[in-house]
Amino acid sequence: MSDEVVHVPPALASAVQRDLGPVRRLPRPSRRVLWLTPLAGLTLLGGTRVFELRADAPRLGWTLTWGTSLVETTAALAIIALALRDAVPGRSLRTRAVMLTAGAVLGFTAVVTLRTWSVSPTTIVRLSPLWVGKICFTGTLVTALPLLAAAAVMAARAFSVRPWSSGALYGLGAGLGADAGWRLFCHYSDPAHVFPTHIGAILASSLLGMLASGAIGRMRGVRPRV
């Protein structure tokens, strides 16, 4: 290091001094995500309180109903923790890691869908598949919104240098959390219904997260301009 004295330029010094005070350090993502646990629990249990548990639940057993949904909720919180980590400068995930996470979610939900279908094949018979699909897609997406909004607020409190990736991750987590609840009372296990609507809603939630994160960044002026 050079011995030359480096002075802070006056304009920068006055800008810093104007707003210099003790700041409360942001807690670690693993701790911050715990604040979302009650909301994630509500997202999981809310639907089954309002509607009834899916008709084929006894045939599927605990593992393919509550067990899988609990795993999905836990994974959702873990993904949101990753998003909160990603929103901190210097701790961003590589693009490959973000893609891998999305791939793992899709892979897991696809395996669960196929396994559920093989144990209890139920198809939409009396109602219009399009109408049921619309309900499940919209319902899952709307259920994901509170979790997504809360995660977005938490991520916005950091300083996301790559808003798209943190947004995509918390959107993915929120979507997965919502699916954990919806799969418990949706009676249809037909992959032709589950893939485009339930899994489609998870992807749509991820896209929504990306858009929300970008919009929040612009609103808060996080995009620095010189």
Footprint of another protein (CB under 8 A):
1-2, 5-12, 15-17, 19-26, 28, 88-92, 158-159, 161-162, 221, 223-226
At 62, give phi and psi (nearest 5°): -65, -40
Q: Which one, 51 or 164, has the nearer CB to another protein? A: 164
Q: How far is the CB of 156 from another protein (least distance, A)?
A: 11
Question: Smallest Cα–Cα separation from 166: which of 101, 215, 213?
Answer: 213
Q: Which one, 29 or 139, has the nearer CB to another protein? A: 29
Give the H or E element holding residue 84.
Answer: helix 68-86
In the chain, count of helices (H) and strands (E)?
Answer: 10, 0
Q: How far is the CB of 84 from another protein (least distance, A)?
A: 11
Q: Which one, 105 or 151, has the nearer CB to another protein? A: 151
Q: Which one, 94 or 126, has the nearer CB to another protein? A: 94
Q: How far is the CB of 114 from another protein (least distance, A)?
A: 40
Q: How far is the CB of 203 from another protein (least distance, A)?
A: 26
Q: Which one, 24 or 96, has the nearer CB to another protein? A: 24
Under a CB-based contact definition with an 8 Å cutoff, are residues 68 and 112 in contact? yes
Question: Smallest Cα–Cα separation from 69: which of 205, 191, 206, 180?
Answer: 180
Q: How far is the CB of 172 from another protein (least distance, A)?
A: 22
Q: Nearest 5 degrees, angle CA 77-CA 83-CA 84?
A: 90
Q: Which one, 50 or 226, has the nearer CB to another protein? A: 226
Buried b (16+ CB within 10 A) or exposed e, 184-197: bbbbbbbeebbeeb
- From residue 52, alpha-carbon distances to 56, 103, 148, 170 in Å are 11, 31, 25, 28
**Residues in CB range of 202: below 8 A, 6 or more apart:** 105, 106, 109, 140, 172, 175, 176, 178, 179
Q: How far is the CB of 27 from another protein (least distance, A)?
A: 9
